[in-house]
Amino acid sequence: MSDITVVTYDWVPLPPRGHVRDVRLCWALEEAGLPYRIETTPFADRGPQHFAHQPFGQVPWLTDGDISVFESGACLLYLGEKSDKLLPTDKRARIETIEWLIAGLNSMEMVSVPWSIHQFSNDKQGAAWERVDGWLTSRLTNLEKVIGRRDWLAGTFSIADILMADLLRLVDRFDGLKNFPATKAYVTRATARPAFIKARDEQIARFKAADAAA
């Protein structure tokens, strides 16, 4: 029996709306057809209750009965255990999914996040920007070769694609995929899925409702 709650902020400023990482969890839950609830935690005032679940004061986390999981990658792995639509049971496909999930987090997102911070800050001059832009270009050049040969990273659609496509769509938002057509097509393919559209649109609607209630 599933009793899953996804916890996210009660409000965020406009720029990150649609990109807050609870979308990864909701996307996965929608793909798997698992029931869930959303709960919110204050963005402005992060108290001990928040830090008890997420030691960095961030979101998302999920709870399932008395289990609490933080880090979007860990949450995706946790949800993957509940559905082979998210994480295959075949041994080879399973480890391929896990390696691509971790590659998304540790080889791509560690580069795409600093790159996006430069973009959000409109700080695109100087040595630091050149370095991070070159770093991302190098990662995307290698990823492009892989994605050009397959629809999904581990054969069939999985949590690895949820993670990878979600981080890449932020790069795409700043036109960072313009020289990487296969990667751009991959993001388009992933984000055309009804489960993603529902998860993203509901996130945007929630934050808009919070504006209206304020």
Ligand X SMILES: N[C@@H](CCC(=O)N[C@@H](CS)C(=O)NCC(=O)O)C(=O)O
For position 168 contacting ligand X by CB under 6 A, the verdict is no
Residue 112 touches ligand X, criterion: CB under 6 A: no
In the set 5, 58, 83, 137, which binds ligand X (CB under 6 A)?
Answer: 58
Q: Which of 20, 77, 98, 154 binds ligand X (CB under 6 A)?
A: 20
Which of 150, 117, 125, 137 shows the shortest CA–CA distance to 178?
Answer: 137
Nearest C-alpha neighbor of 6 from the set 17, 24, 22, 28: 22
In this chain, which stretch among 32-40, 55-63, 137-145, 172-180 interacts with ligand X, using CB under 6 A? 55-63
C-alpha 161/C-alpha 159 separation (Å) is 5
If you ran DSSP here, which 8-state letter would residue 58 be given? -
Q: Which of 4, 11, 29, 72 binds ligand X (CB under 6 A)?
A: 72
Residue 1 CB, shortest distance to ligand X, in Å, is 26
Nearer CB in complex with ligand X: 19/189: 19
Q: Under a CB-based contact definition with an 8 Å cutoff, are residues 71 and 106 in contact? A: no
**Half-sphere CA count of 84, side-chain side, radius 13 A:** 5
- Minimum CB–partner distance for residue 199 and ligand X (Å): 13
Query: How many Cβ atoms are within 10 Å of 182's Cβ, its own excluded?
Result: 15
Q: Which residue is nearest to ligand X (CB)?
A: 58
Residues forming contacts to ligand X in the complex (CB under 6 A) are 20-21, 57-59, 71-73
